[in-house]
Amino acid sequence: MGSTGKSEMKISRPGLRPERLSNLMRAAVRRCRLDLSGMVVLTEAASDAWVVTPVLAALAGAKKVFAVARPSSYGTIEEIERETTGLARMAAVSERIEIISEKRSDIVGQADIVTNSGHVRPIDAGMVRCMKPTAVIPLMFEAWEFRSGDVDLEACRRLDIPVAGTNERHPAVDVFSYLGIMAVKMLLDAEIAVHGSRILVWCDNLFRPFLVKGLTLAGAVVESVERLEDGEEALGADAILVALRPKAQPVVGRREAAVIGQGYPTAVVAQFWGDMDRGALACQGVPFWPLEPPPPGHQGILLSSLGPEPIIRLQSGGLKVGEVMARARISQIGRPASRDAAIAAAVASGFGMALSIPVPRRTRAGHSQSGEDQ
């Protein structure tokens, strides 16, 4: 079984050796006490370190895992299928994983857990209508990071489908501890040495203490602000690390670019999170990193750039949220537990996070009114 996995999973990066991935995944299943026995999971099949998701679900005992594969700049469907199959065979779970290329209604209708992973998105109203009454949707990130285009929350509310975020700071998950390392890697890629460098961390969210700690431990002189105007220009920053919650407009637009160009003329602007107008920065002569913008609302550095460990931790945590909600829904004989009860169970477990997102509701007259989701 092992030799077959090695031959079919052709990954040259040493950190992605099938044997190593298998050990890391088994450790994550134990750490999270992840038990998906008897459940059907709909998730994605992807390349690089993200290859682990369907295999994790199967290792946790899922009776069937449907994994959606789509071609991308990271690999073809054939390459993704080959990598997934190779790893699944190494882990001795290949018979329970099926790679699919489209989200057919009959498959969606079988799933107990539907992750909002990249190739599964968007989970729109049509897809929600196909779900079984006891289906659940775990977000594979924290609740406050929610992007409206990922999941139709109004449809989920209407059809009583629970949606909950993943507590990435749970001790068994602990993904936030990698944020500082990601910032260091991003700045090194931008040719900022970090050690001895002066870094302004411009952050308005929960990432802030983790970014500051990681950069400080790496030897940087760090100042952190929530508003750019609060920074000390005399710091003479070598880099400004932008880690702002995305908005409808770029968080670094013409006004912010002008402030940076005038107040921080020697700084490289690194986009950790939050969209930037690269044209505006270029007009001010401000260098930026990465050179190519990530998709709107996405981070400028991938978690997978650090290797498989943080990915496995994140995905196992997200699947655990799905497990807790799914078990809460089917625990009652006859009528399934409500959406709110399932979300409450996930939160009580410590792995889940409730959402507090304004969701437009439709009145009988067809007018829209504001409401709050989970």
Last residue of a domain, one of 231, 255, 289: 289
Residue 159 confidence (pLDDT):
95
Residue 330 burial (CB count, 10 A): 16
Each residue of 315-325: b (16+ CB within 10 Å) or e? Answer: bbbbbbbbbbb
Answer whether residue 167 is part of any domain. yes
SS3 label, residue 171:
coil
Report how far residue 47's alpha carbon sits from residue 145's, in angstroms, rounded to the nearest whole number.
Answer: 23
Q: Is residue 333 within 8 Å of 347, Cβ to Cβ?
A: no
Residue 372 confidence (pLDDT):
30
Q: Is residue 29 within 8 Å of 23, Cβ to Cβ?
A: no
Cis peptide before 295 (omega within 30 of 0): no
Q: Which residue has the higher pLDDT, 319 or 76?
A: 319
Report how far residue 106's alpha carbon sits from residue 111's, in angstroms, rounded to the nearest whole number.
Answer: 9
Which pLDDT band, with edges at 50, 70 and 90, does 13 fall under?
confident
Domain that holds residue 200: 191-289
Kindly tell me if the per-residue pLDDT of 359 is higher than 60. no
> Tens of pLDDT along 50-78?
999 999 999 999 999 999 999 877 788 99
Each residue of 146-172: b (16+ CB within 10 Å) or e? Answer: beeebbbbbbbbeebbbbbbbbbbbeb
What is the number of structural domains in the chain?
A: 2
Q: Which residue has the higher pLDDT, 236 or 28?
A: 28
Span 112-141, mean pLDDT?
A: 96
- Looking at the structure, do residues 135 and 231 belong to the same domain, yes or no? no
- Looking at the structure, do residues 234 and 123 belong to the same domain, yes or no? no
Span 69-96, mean pLDDT?
A: 90
- Looking at the structure, do residues 311 and 167 belong to the same domain, yes or no? yes
Q: How far is CA 322 from CA 150, 166, 274, 290, in A?
A: 16, 9, 28, 34
Kindly tell me if the per-residue pLDDT of 218 is higher than 80. yes
Counting Cα atoms < 13 Å in the Cβ hemisphere of 358 gives: 4
Kindly tell me if the per-residue pLDDT of 88 is higher than 90. yes
Kindly tell me if the per-residue pLDDT of 364 is higher than 80. no
- Looking at the structure, do residues 68 and 162 belong to the same domain, yes or no? yes
Report how far residue 283's alpha carbon sits from residue 257's, in angstroms, rounded to the nearest whole number.
Answer: 8
- Looking at the structure, do residues 7 and 122 belong to the same domain, yes or no? yes
Kindly tell me if the per-residue pLDDT of 363 is higher than 70. no
Report how far residue 178's alpha carbon sits from residue 304's, in angstroms, rounded to the nearest whole number.
Answer: 11
- Looking at the structure, do residues 80 and 217 belong to the same domain, yes or no? no
Cis peptide before 122 (omega within 30 of 0): yes
Span 253-268, mean pLDDT?
A: 94
> Tens of pLDDT along 336-352?
678 999 999 999 999 99
Residue 148 confidence (pLDDT):
84
Answer whether residue 181 is part of any domain. no
Answer whether residue 185 is part of any domain. no
Which pLDDT band, with edges at 50, 70 and 90, does 2 fall under?
very low
Closest CA to 290 of 182, 212, 211: 182
Write the single-letter amino acid at 334.
G
Span 304-329, mean pLDDT?
A: 96
Which pLDDT band, with edges at 50, 70 and 90, does 223 fall under?
very high
Residue 233 confidence (pLDDT):
61
- Return mean pLDDT, the chain: 89
Is the model's pTM score more than 0.85? yes
Residue 173 confidence (pLDDT):
98
What CATH number does residue 162 fall under?
3.40.50.720
> Tens of pLDDT along 157-192?
999 999 999 999 999 999 999 999 999 999 999 999
- Looking at the structure, do residues 102 and 203 belong to the same domain, yes or no? no
Which segments of the chain does DSSP mark as H helices, in order?
2-8, 18-32, 52-59, 77-90, 105-108, 125-129, 153-158, 179-189, 208-217, 254-263, 278-283, 308-330, 339-349
